Structure 1
Amino acid sequence: MSKIETSILVEAKEPDTETLLVLNDIPLDEQVEGLIRNHKELNITRHRSEKLALSSGPDPTGLKILPASSRQRFEESGIDVSRGYPEVPDRSQIPVFVDQAFAIRNYDLPYTERGKNADKDKKSLFGAATEVINLTKNVGTEIVGLQLENLTDQQKDELALLIAERVVVFFRDQKLSPKTQRKLGEYWGHVEVHPQTPQVPDLPGVTVIWNDYKIKQGMNLNYSNNNLGNWDATKNPAIGNQVWHADLVHERQPAGYTHLHLDAIPGVGGDTIWASGYAAYDKLSDEFKQLLDGKEAVYISAHGYLDRDDPFSGPKKVERVHPIVRTHPATGWKYLFVNRAMTRRIVGFSPVESDLILNYLFDVYEKNADIQVRFKWSNTKTGYGTSAIWDNRIAQHRAVWDHEGKDARHGTRVTSLAEKPYFDPDSKSQRESLGKYLHKWE
C-alpha cells in the first residue's frame, strides 16, 4: 500500500455503512485527495450541477438503456460494449485540485490550420456533393450527397475553410464509425481527451453526449429548470447543455473544430442552435469595437476543483486569460469571443463595469435571430446518423431540451484543439472584409 492508502481507513460499523478515519501523518491536501479518489460518494470530481457519482469503467446500467440505433452503430464499427456503456474515466485520473486541472495541456501543442491554404472556391468538396444548402444568410450550411468517412485530405481542408466561414456545417444520412470520427478530428488538431466525461469504450477523445443516461444516474433535468442558466449562469446551474456556451474556453489552446454525430434522434425536438461570433462582433458600433479590440477576459472551466491550500473553501474553476476579440487564422476575420456560461470578467474593468458589458455582449449573441441557425437533426434514411461540425472559436451553441427525454437522443463528440488565441489589430471584421454594409451610428 502507498502512504496515502494507508492513511485512509474504512471501518465497517453496520452492514452497508462505513466510517472514514483520516490519520494525520501526511499533509492535509494529500489526505483530501486520497479520500476523494478512494470514496465514490465524495463527488467533488464530478460536475457540481449534475451531482453524479459515477463508478469508473464501462457501466452495465447504461447499456440497458442504450438506443438500438446507437448499439447497431457500435456493432457495425467493431466496438465492444458488452461490458457496459459508456466508459467512465478512472477516478485516479481525474484532477482533484485546480492546479492539477490547470496543468493539463499547459504547454504549446503543434497546430496546423487546415483551412488556411485551402481552395477558396472549394471545388473538390462542392464538386463531389449533390447539393450545398445555406440554411441562413449568415450561419449554417448543409452538404448533401457526401460521406464524411470518404473525404480526401483536400476535401477535409476545404471543409475546414467552409466551417470557418459558415460557423457550422451539417451532414445527414452518415454511416460514420466513432473511430473514423476521431481520425477526422485528429486531422484538424489535437483531439481533447476529457478527464471526467464518459466516453466510448477504448476510444479516449470520443465523448458521449447523452442526457438520458445522466438523468438515469440522478441528474435533475426537467421542463422547469433546463433553461435557467440562460438568465444568470452564476446563480443558476447549467444542467445538461441547454445554456449558451462554447466548449473548453479555459484551455491554453481552446477548442477549434468540434464534431457531434447523433445516432439516436428524437422524431420531434432535440434541436441545436448555433450563433456566429463574426456576426456578433459586426453588430457592435465602431466605438464599441474600438473599446473591446485588444482587451482580454478571464475564461473558466465548466468543472470545479479544490484549492490545494484551502481545500474546504469550495470548488474553484480553472481560469485562463484570452483576447475578448480574436482573429481567425483561416479567414483573417475578427470575432467576439465570449459566452454566458464561462466568461468570468474583463481584465482591468471594475466588477460592475465588466458585468454590464459582458451581459450586453452575451445578449448580442443570444437575442439576434439573424445571426443564428436552428438545426433539426432528422435523417432521411433509417439506420443512419447526422453530423454537425462547427468551429468552437467563432460559435456559441445550445441544445433545446423540448423532447423532455421522451425520445432517445444519443451521440458522440470529438473536439480538436486549435491555436493559442490571438488578436491581430490589422485584421478586419467579416462584413468589412466582404464589402457588406455596416451601419454608422450617429
Structure 2
Amino acid sequence: MSPSAATTTPANAAETPVELSEIEQIVTKLAKSGIKNPRSASKGGFADSWVENLPATTKARFEKYGIDISQGYPQRPPTEDIPIFVDQAHAVRDKEVPYIERAKNADPEKKALFAAAKEVKNLTKHIGTEIIGLQLSDLTDQQRDELALLIAERVVVFFRDQDLDPKIQADLGAYYGNVEYHPQQVHVPGLPGTTVIWQDLLIKLGLNIGFKNNVKAGTSQWHTDLTHELQPPGITHLHNDAIPDVGGDTIWSSGYAAYDKLSPAFQKFLDGKKAVYFSAHNYLDRENPLKGRVNVEREHPIIRTHPATGWKSLFVNRAMTRRIVGLEPRESDLILEYLFSIFEKNLDIQVRFNWKPTKAGLGTSALWDNRVSQHFAVWDHEGNEPRHGTRVSSLAEVPYFDPESKSQREALGLSLN
C-alpha cells in the first residue's frame, strides 16, 4: 500500500534486473495465465470518475471550498506511478523520517482545548470522547497539541457539526505527522494525501458486498490501517460529509485495554516479541513474477509503547497480521486468534459511534490513534443512503517496545484484576 512510480527503475532500488520490454512480455504472460495486470484495475487520473453520483452534501462542501471536480471525481495517482513489483512498493517509505509527537508538548490538563468547547463527553469508560461546540478549523497550535494528547489517552475523539475545508483537514494531518500519500488510493482532486472513503464507488467498481456478505468487504472488518508501513499512522482523521439518517456507524476498540485484559504471565510472554504485518495491496515478485501476487511485509513489536502516554498497547489486527516471529505456524495461529478476539469480543473496551450531525448540511469528524486501536465500519445501511468521507493519515514513529513502560491501568493506578 505504499509504492512509488517506476517504469524501468524503482525508487531507491539499486538495480532493475527486468527491463521494460521484458515487463511487457511478463504482463502478456500474466494476462494469458489469468493473473491480472496490477495496473489494469488502477488506471490513473479520473478513469473511475463517478462525479454524477457524488452526494449533494459532499458537492456543496467541495464547491464552498474551491475543490475542482469539473474533470471528474475522485482522482487516482498517475498510472505510471502505480507500482508493479513488491520491491518498488517496499521502497517508497523504507527509510525512517523525522517525526514530532505533538502530544508531548501538551498541557496535561488540556485547559486551552476544554475551555473553548461547550461540552466534553466521555462516551465510555475506556475509549471515546466527544467534543461539542468547537470547530477543528479554529484550533490554535496549543489546542491541536492538547487534542493530540486527548486522542492518545482516549483513543478516539469525535466532533459533530463540522464545516471543514478539505485543505484544512490536510493541513491538520501534516501538523500531526507525515501525511501518507497512497499510490493506489483515490483522493480528492488536487489533494493526494486526502483519500476518499466511498464504498458506493467500490461497489460500482466490482466490490461484492450485500446483506449476506458485508463482513470482510472493504472496511467492514476489524483492522488497523497501514500496519505494514515502516512508520504506520499515528493520528488518522476521517471526516464524513455524507451520512445515512440511520446506520453507517463505526466501532473502535482500545489496544491499551486489550493489553490489560491479558494475564501477567501472557503479557510477559508477548513483551518484546514481533509479528509480520502485510499490505492490503499486492504486487509481483520481480524474481518470479509468474508465481502470483505478493504483499509488502514488515516486522513490528506485538506490544508497542505509545511515545506520549508511555502506555503499552496490543498491536495486532485480524486483517493485516500474518504471523508471530519465532513461533511455529500452529502456535502463531492459535495465539493470534485469541489476541484478535480480545479486541473483537470485549464490548467494554469498544465504542460505537453514529456519525449523524445535529445540523443539516454539516459533517462529522473522528480522529483516532491508529497505534493503539482497531476499527470496524458497520455496513448496515446497505448503500440505500450515501456515505462519503475524506481521510488523512499522519504517519508517526517506527513502532517500538520499551520494557520499562507500564500498561494503562497500571499507570493510572486502577485494579489489574
Q: Deviations over 1:295-346 (max 9, x none)?
A: 0110100111111111111111111001000000000000000000001000
Whole-Å Cα distance in 1 between the matches of residues 374 and 189 of structure 2? Answer: 29
Q: 2:414 corresponds to which residue?
A: 436
1:226 CA drift (Å): 1.4
Q: 2:309 corresponds to which residue?
A: 331
Number of equivalenced pairs: 401
Q: 5 Å matches for 1:33-432? A: 43-45=36-38, 53-59=41-47, 61-227=49-215, 229=216, 239-432=217-410
Paired amino acid for 2:158: F
1:397 CA drift (Å): 0.3
Q: Residues 33 and 96 of structure 1 are in contact (CA less than 8 Å); yes or no, is this contact kept in structure 2?
A: no
Secondary structure at the aligned position of 2:161 is classed as: strand
Q: 1:14 corresponds to which residue?
A: none
Query: Does residue 31 of the first structure (1) align with residue 24 of the second (2)?
Result: yes
Q: Residues 59 and 83 of structure 1 are in contact (CA less than 8 Å); yes or no, is this contact kept in structure 2?
A: no
Contiguous gaps of at least 5 residues in structure 1: 6-24, 47-51, 230-238
* TM-score normalised per structure 2: 0.92
* TM-score normalised per structure 1: 0.87
Q: Residues 35 and 292 of structure 2 are in contact (CA less than 8 Å); yes or no, is this contact kept in structure 1?
A: no
* 253 and 84 in structure 1: CA distance in 2 versus 1, 3 angstrom threshold: same
Q: Deviations over 1:82-114 (max 9, x none)?
A: 110000222210111111110011111110000
1:43 CA drift (Å): 4.7
Contiguous gaps of at least 5 residues in structure 2: 1-6, 9-17
1:147 CA drift (Å): 0.3
* 66 and 170 in structure 1: CA distance in 2 versus 1, 3 angstrom threshold: same
1:61 CA drift (Å): 4.2
Whole-Å Cα distance in 1 between the matches of residues 41 and 258 of structure 2? Answer: 38
Paired amino acid for 2:189: P
Paired amino acid for 1:159: L
Q: Residues 42 and 184 of structure 2 are in contact (CA less than 8 Å); yes or no, is this contact kept in structure 1?
A: no
Paired amino acid for 1:276: S
Name which one, 1 or 2, has greater alpha-carbon Rg: 1
Whole-Å Cα distance in 1 between the matches of residues 246 and 184 of structure 2? Answer: 30
Whole-Å Cα distance in 2 between the matches of residues 42 and 288 of structure 1? Answer: 43
Secondary structure at the aligned position of 1:321 is classed as: strand
Q: Residues 42 and 79 of structure 2 are in contact (CA less than 8 Å); yes or no, is this contact kept in structure 1?
A: no
Secondary structure at the aligned position of 2:355 is classed as: coil
Whole-Å Cα distance in 2 between the matches of residues 59 and 177 of structure 1? Answer: 25
Taking only the aligned residue pairs, the percentage that are identical comes to: 62
Q: Residues 58 and 201 of structure 1 are in contact (CA less than 8 Å); yes or no, is this contact kept in structure 2?
A: no
* 353 and 37 in structure 1: CA distance in 2 versus 1, 3 angstrom threshold: closer
Q: Residues 345 and 358 of structure 1 are in contact (CA less than 8 Å); yes or no, is this contact kept in structure 2?
A: yes
* 43 and 186 in structure 1: CA distance in 2 versus 1, 3 angstrom threshold: farther
Q: Residues 255 and 416 of structure 1 are in contact (CA less than 8 Å); yes or no, is this contact kept in structure 2?
A: yes
Paired amino acid for 2:390: T
